[in-house]
Amino acid sequence: MRYVTEDELREAYAKAPFGTYELPDDARLTPGARQFLIDFRVDFDSGEAARPPKAHGRAARSVRGTDPCDLGALVHDANLLGARLRLLARRSLGIDNAVARRAEALGRRWQEARTPADLVADQPKGDVTAEPPGPPPAPAFDAAMHPAFFEMAYVHAQLGRYARAWDNARDAARPEDARTIGAWVSEAALLCKELEESVARAEGEV
């Protein structure tokens, strides 16, 4: 079993836009990939036309798949984001060491995760209801603004995109899986808040 990601679909769509998509027999869509097909009004699965979402967040759940939510795809997405976070951590050393340490710790855990439980090992029990991150910060275009802060904004946008897609998938998940997704989305949102604060501090010093 392999997972078709949003990035794969975006790359294929950029080369040759398509109106229908046939999923290979041995593959499944990640929530981000499914959301991409919906957003671009691409017919997929059984040829049923995808509907655009009405809104983001808990107030509007527009993705309703017939298959149960597969948290293997969440692990795959977290592995990719973990690698990205560790790169941010390396580039943030000496610029904002608090962010660097947090990104390295979280990135390593996500990158090395092999099961959904690995992603939320440090999370408290019970339901987590944190909203996905809002829009990413936009650092001032100033020579005194270190490139690391622009990278923080880029990582924030990536985390937000994945977190919103998984937050939309929570309603289709079993209760235990929904709690895992909620904890993961909450953790992503907390890191995004730290990135926002770091960028805001840097702007205040420019």
Task: Return per-residue pLDDT of the chain as tens, 206 residues.
Answer: 789 988 889 888 878 888 899 988 888 888 888 888 887 788 887 333 344 443 444 333 333 344 456 788 899 899 999 999 999 999 999 999 999 999 999 999 999 999 999 988 666 555 556 788 999 999 999 999 999 999 999 999 999 999 988 888 887 788 999 999 999 999 999 999 999 999 999 999 87
pLDDT of res. 146: 96
pLDDT of res. 124: 57
**Nearest alpha-carbon partner for 163 in 2, 4, 6:** 6
**Helices within the chain (DSSP H only):** 6-15, 31-39, 71-92, 97-112, 116-119, 147-169, 175-205
pTM comes to 0.74
Q: What are the residues facing 21 on neighbouring strands?
A: 44
pLDDT of res. 32: 86
* Domain boundaries defined on the chain: 2-44, 71-205
pLDDT of res. 88: 97
pLDDT of res. 122: 66
